[in-house]
Structure 1
Amino acid sequence: MVSLTRISFVTLLYAILMHTAGSRVLELSDRFLDIHKDGQWLVMMYAPWCAHCKRLEPIWSHVAQHLHATSIRVGRVDCTRFTSVASSFKIKGFPTILFLKGDQEYVYHGDRTRDEIVKFALRLSGPPVQEVTKPQSFDTIKRERDLYFLYVGGRSGVLWELYHKTANTFQAHAFFYQSHPSVVNKHAPVENVPALFVYKESSHYNFTGHNLSDIEKMNETLYKWVNAERFPTFPKVTRGNINQLFLTNKNLVLAVVEENQLEEVAPDMLEFKDMVESVIKSKREKYHDHFQFGWIASPDLVNSIAMMVLPLPSLIVINTTTNHHHIPEDETEKLTPYVIELFLEQIRNESAPRFGGNTWLVRSYRTWFELKSTLVSMWKGNPILMTVLVGLPVGFLSLICYGICCPDILDANDEEDENAGASHMKND
C-alpha cells in the first residue's frame, strides 16, 4: 500500500513538473504582430498536422524551461489558425524558428536540439561583442563555450572596427568577446596588442591577418578566417549544419559511419572515425586551410551526394565550391593515416578522380536517385502501405485508360455488327 501511494505521488509530481515545463511556452495569437518588437522573442511557427513540429514540441518545452530565467520569451504560433502571422513573417515551411529583437529578425537553420537552439538564442540576446572585465569570468566562459572568438585590446582602431563588423555578421553562429591584456592574463597567449584569437578544443589559435596594410584585404581575410574557424576541428555533420559547412568553401572530408537509436557508433566504425580525426589533429597546419574535417552518421545524406550507396564505414571528400566529390580507390580496410594523406594530396594537386558536380544532367540523376532511395526505404519500412500508395494511382490510371480505350473498341464492334447485318440483307 505504501509503495503504491509512493508511486502515485511520484507520478503526480512528474505530471505537475511536465505541465510546469510546458507552461513556459507562450501560446501566441495574431495579436503577436502588435507586440513582437517589444523585448526579445524566440518563436516557433508550426502547424498541428506537421510531424516535424510534433517531434520538436518536447524539445521546445525544454528550451523554454532553460531560458525562463533570461529576458528571452519563448512562444509558438499555430500558423493554420493565425495565417496573418505566417504571412507577415513570410513563413514557407514548418517548423520555422525565429529570434526577434526589435526590428531584427533571425531564422534558425541549425540542429533542432535543446542545446543548439538555446545557444542560438543566447548569442543573439546580447550585443555582437560582449566585454569581459573579470579574469575569473574566463573560467566560466571556457566551461560553457566550447568555441568562441576573443579580441584583446581597446575598442578603437581598424582591427577592432573590422572585428565588430564581422561579429555582427556571424553573431547567430558564434560567441564574440573583447577584453584587455590585464584581464586576459594567463588565459590567452597575448604577446602584442591588439590580438585576436579563436578558442576551441582547449587551445587558442591566433589570427595573423591584421598585419596587412590594405584594409579591404584585411576585412576579406578576417571574414574568411571567422567563417572557417567558427566550426570545431572535427564536428559532427548533420542535415542542420551541412549547409553552413559548405559556406567555408573548403574541401569537406567526412568519415561516414552509422549510429543506432541510442546514437552509439559500433566499435569498428568508431575506430575508423578516430583514425580520420587523427589526421587533422596531427597535421592541422598542413590541412586546415584547405580541408574541413568532420564525421557524419547520416548515410542517406551522403549517398544522395555521392549518388550511390557507400559502404560503412567509408570516406568521402566534397568540394563545397563545385559540388564535386572524391572517393578513395582503396578499400576502407586499407585506409591508414598515411594513405589518407596521399589521397588528400592528390585532391590538392587536382590529380584525384572526381565525380558529381552541378550540371543539369547530374542534378537530374541525383533527383532520380533520391526518389528511388525514398521509395525503397518506404517499401522496406511498410510494404503494405507502399503497395496501397502505389496501387491506388496505378489502378486509377488503369481505369482512365480503360475508359478511353473501351469506347473505341465498342464502336468498332458496333460497326462490325452493322456491316455484318448489311451483308446478310444483301444475301437475302
Structure 2
Amino acid sequence: MQKEIFLLQLVLLFNYYILVFPAVLTHTAGSRVLELSDRFLEAHKDGQWLVMLYAPWCAHCKRLEPIWSHVAQHLHATPIRVGRVDCTRFSSVTTAFKIKVFPTILFLKGDQKYVYEGDRTREEIVKFALRLNGPPVQEITKTQSFDTIKREQDLYFLYVGNRAGVLWELYHKIANKFQAHAFFYQSHPNVVNKHAPVDNTPALFVYKENLHYNFTGHNLSDTKQVNETLYKWVNAERFPTFPKVTKTNINELFLTKKNLVLAVVEENQLEEVAPDMLEFRDMVESVIKNKRNKYHDHFQFGWTGSPNLANSVAMMTLPIPSLLVINSTTHHHHIPDDDTEKLTPYVIELFLEQIRNEMFMHFQRYGGNNWLVRSYRKWFETKTILISMWKGNPILMMVLLGLPFGFLSLICYGICCPDLLDASDDEDENIGTHHMKND
C-alpha cells in the first residue's frame, strides 16, 4: 500500500512539473541548458529566463554553444533558468520575439524583455543576467559586502543617503533604464565607512579601476538640469577607462557622444598581443590614466585587437599598430600624420588637443555618415571579406563564385540559343522557297 502511494506521489509530482514548466522538454546533453519548444511562449512570463535563440546552421551559434553551457552551469544556483530555442523548428518563437539575427540572447522577466548586445563571453553574459535578476538598485546593509562586491565587479554605481529626495528619485529612474549595463547600489554613510569618501549626503559615486569618482557639478534645485547631467554622466561612466572595443560594443561606446580614441593592435587566436604592440597599447592607455581630468569629458579611450574593425571604420588598411580617433556623432575619423614609431604621449596629446579645439587646418578628417560614405564602406567591407575568404580557402571561393556564374551562364544559354535555332530554321525555309521559285 505504501509503495502504491509513493508511486502515485511521483506521478502527481511529474504532472505538476509538466504543468508548471510546459516549455521545458529536456536538458541539452552534458549541460544544464534547457531545450525549449514553441510552448515556451506560454511559460516565458513565469519567472526569469535567459534564452538563446539560434539556428543550427549558424556558425556564430555553434561557437556560442560551449560558452552557453558554462553560463547555465554558473547560474544554476540562481532563480534564472537558462535555455535555448531552435528557431528553424519553432518559427513562431522567432515571430513572437521579432528575432532578426542569430544568435539572439534574451533576458525575460514577466512582461519585460532585454536583448543582450555585449561580448559573447561567459563573464559578461553572467553579469548581464545577474544585473537583471534583482531590483534596479540593490541596497547594501553590511560593510563587509563591499569587499565581495569589489572582488566580483570592477565597475558599479553607488548612492549614499536615504531613499528620498530629488537625487535619489532621478538615480533610481536612470538605474532602471541602465540596469542591463551596470550594477547600481544604495547604502548609508555608517555602512560605506572607508569604502567611499563621503563628506555630505546624498552622494553619488562610480567605482572603477579601484577608485571612486564623484558625481559633481549639479544643482538639486534644478531638477531638469540634474536629470540631464546625471543621465549623461551615467551613460559615459558605465564603461571602463580603457575598454576592449569589439564589433558588439562599439555602437554602445558611440552612445557616449565622445570621440573614441582607439589603439589598434592585433591579437592571435589565443587573444595574445605581441610585445611591441602591447607597449604601444600601454602608451596610449597612459595618456588617459595620467591626464584623466583633462581628456575624460571629451574622449573615450579604448583598444581593439581586431584590425578589420578599425579598417572598416577607416575604409583603408591601417598599419599595425596604429591610432584612430572616431567622432561618435558625425562618424568622421582622424589619423595622425606621424608614423606610429614617432608617436609618444606628448605627440598624442597634441593630436587630441587639435581635435578637441577643432583645429583641422593641420590635418584632414575623413569619413562621415552620408549615403556615399556608407555605400563605399559597405563595398570596402565586402571586398575585405572576399579577400580574406580567398586567402583562407581559394578552392572554396572558386566553388562559391563559380556556381552562380555557371547557373547564370546556363540561364543565358537557355534564353538566347532557342532564338538562334529558330532563326536558322526560318532562314533554311526561306532559302528552299527561293530555289523553288527560281526553278
Query: Please, what TM-score do these two structures have when normalized by structure 1?
Result: 0.92
For residues 156 and 40 of structure 1, the distance between their equivalents in structure 2, rounded to whole angstroms, comes to 29
Q: Aligned residue for 1:12?
A: none
1:157 maps to a residue whose letter is: G
- Any idea what the Cα deviations from partners look like across 1:10-49, whole Å, max 9, x if unmatched? xxxxxxxxx9993311122222222221211111112222
For residues 424 and 160 of structure 1, the distance between their equivalents in structure 2, rounded to whole angstroms, comes to 105
2:215 maps to a residue whose letter is: F
For residues 135 and 427 of structure 2, the distance between their equivalents in structure 1, rounded to whole angstroms, comes to 88
Q: Aligned residue for 1:377?
A: 388
Distance of aligned partners of 1:80 and 1:426 in 2 relative to their CA distance in 1, 3 Å threshold:
closer
Q: How many residues align?
A: 410
For residues 57 and 408 of structure 2, the distance between their equivalents in structure 1, rounded to whole angstroms, comes to 29
For residues 230 and 162 of structure 1, the distance between their equivalents in structure 2, rounded to whole angstroms, comes to 16
CA contact (8 A) 1:21 1:62 kept: no
For residues 320 and 100 of structure 2, the distance between their equivalents in structure 1, rounded to whole angstroms, comes to 36
Q: What percentage of residue pairs aligned between the two structures are identical?
A: 84
For residues 405 and 58 of structure 2, the distance between their equivalents in structure 1, rounded to whole angstroms, comes to 27
1:66 paired residue among 52, 61, 74? 74
Distance of aligned partners of 1:362 and 1:213 in 2 relative to their CA distance in 1, 3 Å threshold:
same
Q: How does 1:256-275 map to 2 (within 5 A)?
A: 256-275=264-283
In the alignment, does 2:117 pair up with 1:104? no
- Higher mean displacement: 367-376 or 221-230: 367-376
Q: 1:72 offset after TM fit, Å?
A: 1.0
Q: Aligned residue for 1:6?
A: none
For residues 351 and 229 of structure 1, the distance between their equivalents in structure 2, rounded to whole angstroms, comes to 27
Q: Aligned residue for 1:3?
A: none
Q: How does 1:300-311 map to 2 (within 5 A)?
A: 300-311=308-319
Q: Aligned residue for 2:354?
A: 346
Distance of aligned partners of 1:80 and 1:408 in 2 relative to their CA distance in 1, 3 Å threshold:
closer
Q: Aligned residue for 1:39?
A: 47
CA contact (8 A) 2:51 2:84 kept: yes
Q: Aligned residue for 1:366?
A: 377
Q: 1:78 offset after TM fit, Å?
A: 1.8
Q: Aligned residue for 2:138?
A: 130
In the alignment, does 2:174 pair up with 1:175? no
CA contact (8 A) 1:209 1:222 kept: no
Distance of aligned partners of 1:77 and 1:400 in 2 relative to their CA distance in 1, 3 Å threshold:
closer
Q: How does 1:171-210 map to 2 (within 5 A)?
A: 171-210=179-218
CA contact (8 A) 1:43 1:98 kept: yes
1:354 maps to a residue whose letter is: R
Q: Aligned residue for 2:368?
A: 357
Q: 1:419 offset after TM fit, Å?
A: 5.9
Distance of aligned partners of 1:212 and 1:327 in 2 relative to their CA distance in 1, 3 Å threshold:
farther
Distance of aligned partners of 1:88 and 1:420 in 2 relative to their CA distance in 1, 3 Å threshold:
closer
Q: Aligned residue for 1:285?
A: 293
Q: Aligned residue for 2:326?
A: 318
The 3-state SS of whatever aligns with 2:279 is helix
The 3-state SS of whatever aligns with 2:30 is helix
1:295 paired residue among 290, 303, 309? 303
RMSD: 1.8
Distance of aligned partners of 1:20 and 1:359 in 2 relative to their CA distance in 1, 3 Å threshold:
closer
Q: Aligned residue for 1:13?
A: none
In the alignment, does 2:98 pair up with 1:90? yes
Q: Aligned residue for 2:398?
A: 387
* Unpaired stretches in structure 2, ≥5 consecutive residues: 1-26
For residues 105 and 434 of structure 2, the distance between their equivalents in structure 1, rounded to whole angstroms, comes to 80
- Any idea what the Cα deviations from partners look like across 1:254-310, whole Å, max 9, x if unmatched? 000010111100011101100100110111011100000000011111111111111
Distance of aligned partners of 1:69 and 1:318 in 2 relative to their CA distance in 1, 3 Å threshold:
same
Q: Aligned residue for 1:8?
A: none
Q: Aligned residue for 2:88?
A: 80
In the alignment, does 2:235 pair up with 1:227? yes
Query: Please, what TM-score do these two structures have when normalized by structure 2?
Result: 0.89
1:388 maps to a residue whose letter is: V
1:335 maps to a residue whose letter is: L
- Higher mean displacement: 301-310 or 216-225: 301-310
1:63 maps to a residue whose letter is: V
Q: 1:414 offset after TM fit, Å?
A: 4.7
Q: How does 1:382-421 map to 2 (within 5 A)?
A: 382-414=393-425, 417=428
The 3-state SS of whatever aligns with 1:22 is coil
